[in-house]
């Protein structure tokens, strides 16, 4: 290599790393989320394995509030590329728990640079989006990786391909169920209002047949222009009085997370989604059953 090329490279390297852009010098993605077939797939046309309430993991079967038996890195190693989480209570933020959680994901993202990843968070206590949520992403180092859509809401068919998200290193999509429209303190460009872009069928289902209907959605886009999430996490009512007490059904998890059960649910929603597969398959106990295999099937990959 002659000197001027070396200098040029050195210049490009320092310039691009300054711009958080070592990615500019990196080779174009040829394998995206584990598969070359997914590189040219639009984000809105991809099915992602989704870990329900990913915070709430415990290996103790007596921990009734748990929804996952394995920790976050394990959930991701199994193939979850969407983590759903409820950030109840300010303590989760002040105690650093949200930040620790995000840092774990950041570690995974750094180690897996050819992967697109989605968060679907709930904001039950209506924490401020610019005041509480954004600082947590900033502190974990995720903000520079977060995708900012050119306009919002984005239609299902308008999303970039996985390769575009990976090559620009804007490969984290962040949805929040409430407040992202600006009603909780203001708008943050990368924190997106979920129901304007992703509808859900009934949550906390207790019927193992998972009858599909559009339960939570919001305008201005039509439901056809939304992506959709299936709540495929079966619950049991352990105290069937009044509102009851729902717990995640661990005993039936192998059946719930089987290919047959997940595909039947996806097919049940197909008439409501122009025949398309769900974008997010939300499961409890993702280490049990065949969630990853079924998601690969829904993506049309050979399994
Ligand atoms: C992606 O598009 C194909 C072909 O139209 C369709 O069969 C599949 O259900 C779509 N998947 C999603 C998640 O939109
Ligand atoms: C759609 C999707 O996200 N598929 C896969 C992404 O890549 C990892 C492995 O590299 C898989 O485990 C995911 O399921």
pTM higher than 0.85:
yes
**Pocket, ligand 2, Cβ cutoff 6 A:** 33-34, 46, 48-49, 79, 81, 115, 292, 295, 299
Atom of ligand 2 nearest to the CA of 46: 1
* 248 compared with 105, residue with greater pLDDT: 105
How many whole angstroms from 212 Cα to the centroid of ligand 1?
18
pLDDT at residue 35 greater than cutoff 90: yes
Q: Is the separation of the CB atoms in 49 and 295 below 8 Å? A: yes
The average pLDDT across 118-143 equals: 92
How many CA atoms are closer than 13 Å to the CA of 272, on its beta-carbon side? 22
The average pLDDT across 154-170 equals: 97
Give the domain ranges of the chain: 36-299
Cα angle value 283/288/291 (rounded, 5°): 50
CA–CA dist 32, 28 (Å, integer): 10
The residue length of the chain stands at: 303
CA–CA dist 52, 84 (Å, integer): 5
pLDDT in tens, 234-287: 888 877 777 777 778 888 889 999 999 999 999 999 999 999 999 999 998 888
Residue 34 pLDDT grade (very low, low, confident, very high; cuts 50, 70, 90):
very high
How many whole angstroms from 37 Cα to the centroid of ligand 1?
13
Atom of ligand 2 nearest to the CA of 48: 1
Q: What percent of the chain has pLDDT over 90?
A: 59
> Which residue among 154, 277, 296, 297 is best mutated to probe the pocket of ligand 1, counting the most ligand atoms within 8 A of its Cβ?
277
Q: Which CATH architecture has domain 36-299?
A: Alpha-Beta Barrel (3.20)
* Confidence (pLDDT) at 18: 45
Mapping DSSP to helix (H, G, I), strand (E, B) and coil, where does residue 300 land? coil
Name 260's Cβ contacts closer than 8 Å, sequence gap at least 6: none
Give residue 303's Cα distance to chain centre: 22
Name 12's Cβ contacts closer than 8 Å, sequence gap at least 6: 24, 25
Q: Is the separation of the CB atoms in 186 and 130 below 8 Å? A: yes
* 251 compared with 37, residue with greater pLDDT: 37
Closest C-alpha among 162, 160, 142, 143 to residue 151: 160
The average pLDDT across 119-135 equals: 91
pLDDT at residue 10 greater than cutoff 80: no
* Confidence (pLDDT) at 222: 97
Buried b (16+ CB within 10 A) or exposed e, 157-168: eebbbbbbbbbe
* Confidence (pLDDT) at 17: 45
* Confidence (pLDDT) at 1: 44
Cα angle value 15/16/17 (rounded, 5°): 95
Atom of ligand 2 nearest to the CA of 81: 3
* Confidence (pLDDT) at 216: 95
Among 9-13, 189-193, 268-272, the least confident range = 9-13
Residue 56 pLDDT grade (very low, low, confident, very high; cuts 50, 70, 90):
low
Buried b (16+ CB within 10 A) or exposed e, 17-38: eeeebebeeeeebeebbeeeeb
């Amino acid at each position: 290599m002659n000197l001027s090329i070396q200098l040029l490279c050195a210049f490009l390297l320092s310039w691009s790393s300054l711009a958080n852009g070592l990615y500019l010098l990196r080779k174009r993605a040829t394998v995206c989320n584990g598969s070359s077939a997914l590189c040219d797939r639009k984000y809105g046309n991809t099915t992602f394995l989704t870990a329900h309430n990913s915070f709430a993991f415990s290996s103790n079967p007596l921990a009734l509030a748990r929804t996952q038996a394995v920790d976050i890195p394990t959930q991701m190693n199994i193939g979850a590329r969407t983590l759903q989480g409820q950030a109840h209570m300010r303590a989760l933020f002040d105690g650093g728990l949200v930040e620790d959680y995000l840092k774990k994901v950041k570690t995974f993202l750094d180690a897996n640079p050819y992967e697109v990843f989605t968060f679907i968070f709930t904001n039950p206590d209506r924490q401020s989006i610019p005041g509480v949520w954004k600082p947590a992403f900033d502190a974990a180092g995720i903000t520079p990786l977060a995708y900012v859509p050119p306009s919002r809401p984005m239609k299902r068919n308008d999303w970039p391909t996985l390769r575009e998200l990976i090559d620009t290193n804007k490969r984290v999509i962040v949805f929040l169920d409430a407040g992202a429209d600006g009603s909780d303190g203001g708008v943050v460009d990368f924190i997106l209002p979920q129901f304007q872009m992703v509808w859900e069928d009934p949550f906390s289902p207790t019927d193992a047949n998972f009858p599909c209907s559009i339960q939570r959605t919001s305008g201005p886009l039509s439901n056809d222009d939304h992506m959709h999430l299936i709540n495929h996490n079966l619950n049991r009512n352990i105290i069937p009085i009044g509102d009851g007490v729902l717990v995640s059904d661990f005993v039936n998890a192998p059946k719930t997370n089987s290919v047959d059960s997940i595909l039947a649910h996806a097919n049940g929603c197909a008439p409501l989604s122009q025949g398309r597969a769900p974008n997010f398959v939300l499961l409890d106990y993702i280490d049990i059953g065949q969630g990853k295999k079924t998601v690969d099937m829904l993506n049309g990959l050979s399994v």
